[in-house]
Amino acid sequence: MSRAQISALVLGVGGFGALVAATASNEWKVTTRASSVITATWVYQGLWMNCAGTALGSFHCRPHFTIFKVEGYIQACRGLMIAAVSLGFFGSIFALFGMKCTKVGGSDKAKAKIACLAGIVFILSGLCSMTGCSLYANKITTEFFDPLYVEQKYELGAALFIGWAGASLCIIGGVIFCFSISDNNTKTPRMGYTYNGATSVLSSRTKYHGGEDFKTTNPPKQFDKNAYV
């Protein structure tokens, strides 16, 4: 099991969890109205509802009852964050199928393609979240520094930073997944060698004069005359 794939899976799933938390959070923008500590009032606004809390501990939320009366940038951010969460979910599923340790997904070559697909999906999820959070933050900062804007001004909420962090994790995890397939391509198969055993001295003799084996002959024995008596 590749360590790169484990790191990519942890980053991708962690980023996906951060995107879910940012999408469901109500602290996309926040403001404080306080003449004193006792009478302080906090106002939070998110993609789905507005909330207000006091220093005495009371906390009330009111959802956006209609879609058509919500401002355009909020609807755009909703769509982008829903797309980011959906892509992160499918990226996590593809990543599990593309892991080398799992028994599903087919051969190693097929798993490498699935892992690359998971990386691309994670990158798209991170880009959607990054775009949605940046669009919302741009609207807040534009209204805050506009001297002609006379309505209530807000500051960046915690959900935006969570969304940016989740998007970064998804993008990093997706890039690692895409480059993890290079490990399978760079590994060359091992060469197999067969052992034929040690060759004997007799088998290594060369042939003599185009086909006849060279054989050593023993010298003729010399017999004395007395040997026949």
Q: Give pLDDT tens digits for 14-31.
A: 999 999 999 999 889 988
In a domain, 197, yes or no: no
d(CA 202, CA 200): 5
d(CA 98, CA 105): 6
d(CA 125, CA 171): 8
Q: For position 4, what pLDDT does the model report?
A: 80
Question: How many structural domains comprise the chain?
Answer: 1
Nearest residue to 23 (alpha-carbon basis) of 85, 88, 98: 85
d(CA 136, CA 162): 13
Q: Does the reported pTM lie above 0.75? A: no
Structure confidence at residue 128 as a pLDDT band (50, 70, 90): very high
In a domain, 42, yes or no: no
Report the CATH number that the domain containing residue 21 is assigned in CATH: 1.20.140.150
In a domain, 140, yes or no: yes
- Residues present in the chain in total: 229
Residue span of the structural domain in which 175 resides: 3-26+71-185
In a domain, 34, yes or no: no
Q: Give pLDDT tens digits for 163-208.
A: 999 999 999 999 988 887 765 555 444 444 454 554 444 444 444 4
Q: For position 206, what pLDDT does the model report?
A: 45
In a domain, 227, yes or no: no
In a domain, 63, yes or no: no
Nearest residue to 172 (alpha-carbon basis) of 18, 12, 16, 2: 12
In a domain, 21, yes or no: yes
